[in-house]
Structure 1
């Protein structure tokens, strides 16, 4: 088997699904993903979302769009804690699910967060019942973004306090300091639409590692990679690939947070185009074999 010309490692919220509707709102995204998979291009969704979300919002549209059996399409969910293969040969389009139980939060913590949402934040967020390992609290679609972001820090502080009461090492994503024992068990990771509480071993880098393990089972690895995301934490995909000897460029579809110095190219869409509109432009260019600069 010849090595594919390209491999895609894709965050879902932002580059693929609209952060407003939480659905694939641009039809060409489905068309191009189906066409790339048919060419033999590996496509792996590397996301903090649950397998249930991927099944409904990503796999369903791909199947309806004609995704063929035999494509190298996979999902790594909950930042590396859950993974499976995708295709019409599987029931509901998804193969057997693997869950890393050692990355799952204590059940009593999840119960406390569910009750906290019910009592104090039900007008703002919902508790994601579909997660197997992480605990995720997500902004309601009809809530204004500014209103959500104004109250998010209060919830994050309560989540951290709940972990600390249990004697668990904890940090926010932007705090690189370990606890006094030299290791951190859990972290609180706020995004523009949610807060995830997760194992400190979870992350887009672990997702990248899982992705290559899945692809090693079904064919040759690609000659080069494109990773795509909308937050600084998504750069970890390209960081891991580069550190492990793979050619990679990262596409940042929301560069407003600032583009860091990296040892690999970072690509952005022109004219201020962001989120899924930017993702759609790059997918179409890759499908047509155009250069990254021709989006």
Structure 2
């Protein structure tokens, strides 16, 4: 067993936030090489299982992932929608998709947000039809970041009003409204390319816990871990590992948003950001472990 485990966010360190694909070929090659070497690798993302199957697993399989995962001790796992959905990734590809329906949004709210996008915001964003439990509305790739972010503010306010009108407790930043039971079970989470509407129990620490449970069922866990992400919530992967007693450091590939104060080491890749930083991180470990 290789004494290293890896937890990756996808948008940013693996997939380009511009193209939404793996744009740097070495990322694919190095993930396959590390998997073959016995490094347990989990993708912990807000993306849907369909996105990961198409944009991550498919290019990895084309580069030899099936053979890599056929090696003794090889382990790979996917946690999607921040813990609401998950699946194994094996030498046969992505396994059966499991869904925690207890955290899903009501169907009438989903329909209302879908209509909101279609009637008012389709010029800037699209409704992600592949999500199973949460709602995601994403920037169109032909729209500039500045134009999208300006429209996103209006969308977020309008979506908040839809949930409130349906009696769904929801939070957006400092603004919140409770449901009739006095609870606020959902939140709007804006990112640089999307807004997620999700259960408050979903986050990257939940995803990390689920991934470690899967890996532990297959064999001993490494003591050394690295988590890699581009948002402040991605630190929660390392938070979970640290609290569970593992030796961990977090790799921040967008440190300009602010490096958080944590009891474990935070790593940056010099002036590199996003997938260029992710590629440099992976290449370092390939050289360290495989020479």
Query: Normalized against structure 1, the TM-score is what?
Result: 0.92
Quote the residue 2:98 is aligned against: 98
State whether residues 248 and 264 of structure 2, in contact with CA within 8 Å, keep that contact through their aligned partners in structure 1.
yes
Q: Distance in 2 between matches of 1:177 and 1:227?
A: 31
Q: Distance in 2 between matches of 1:219 and 1:176?
A: 45
Which of the residues 87, 91, 111 maps onto 1:88?
Answer: 91
State whether residues 46 and 81 of structure 2, in contact with CA within 8 Å, keep that contact through their aligned partners in structure 1.
yes
Q: CA deviation at 1:244?
A: 1.8
Which of the residues 67, 76, 79 maps onto 1:76?
Answer: 79
Equivalences for 1:134-149 in 2 at 5 Å? 134-149=134-149
Which of the residues 38, 41, 58 maps onto 1:43?
Answer: 41
1:115 aligns with 2:118: no
Aligned residues: 283
Quote the residue 1:197 is aligned against: 197
Equivalences for 1:105-184 in 2 at 5 Å? 105-172=105-172, 174-175=173-174, 183-184=183-184
State whether residues 63 and 87 of structure 1, in contact with CA within 8 Å, keep that contact through their aligned partners in structure 2.
no
**1:264-287 deviation digits (Å, cap 9, x = unpaired):** 1000111x2100000000001011
Query: SS of the residue aligned with 2:218?
Result: coil
**Shift in CA distance, 144/176, structure 1 to aligned 2, threshold 3 Å:** closer
Q: CA deviation at 1:258?
A: 0.6
Quote the residue 1:268 is aligned against: 268
Q: CA deviation at 1:87?
A: 2.6
Query: SS of the residue aligned with 1:284?
Result: helix
**Shift in CA distance, 182/210, structure 1 to aligned 2, threshold 3 Å:** farther
Query: SS of the residue aligned with 1:289?
Result: helix
Q: CA deviation at 1:161?
A: 1.3
**Shift in CA distance, 96/110, structure 1 to aligned 2, threshold 3 Å:** same
Q: CA deviation at 1:103?
A: 1.0
Quote the residue 1:216 is aligned against: 216
Query: SS of the residue aligned with 1:5?
Result: coil
Q: CA deviation at 1:175?
A: 4.6
**Shift in CA distance, 7/64, structure 1 to aligned 2, threshold 3 Å:** same
Query: Normalized against structure 2, the TM-score is what?
Result: 0.93
**1:186-227 deviation digits (Å, cap 9, x = unpaired):** 000000000000000001111111111111121111111100
Quote the residue 2:228 is aligned against: 228
**1:126-159 deviation digits (Å, cap 9, x = unpaired):** 1000000010000001110010011111111111
1:287 aligns with 2:289: no
Q: Distance in 2 between matches of 1:217 and 1:96?
A: 17
Superposition RMSD on alpha carbons, in Å? 1.7
Quote the residue 2:242 is aligned against: 242
Q: CA deviation at 1:171?
A: 1.2
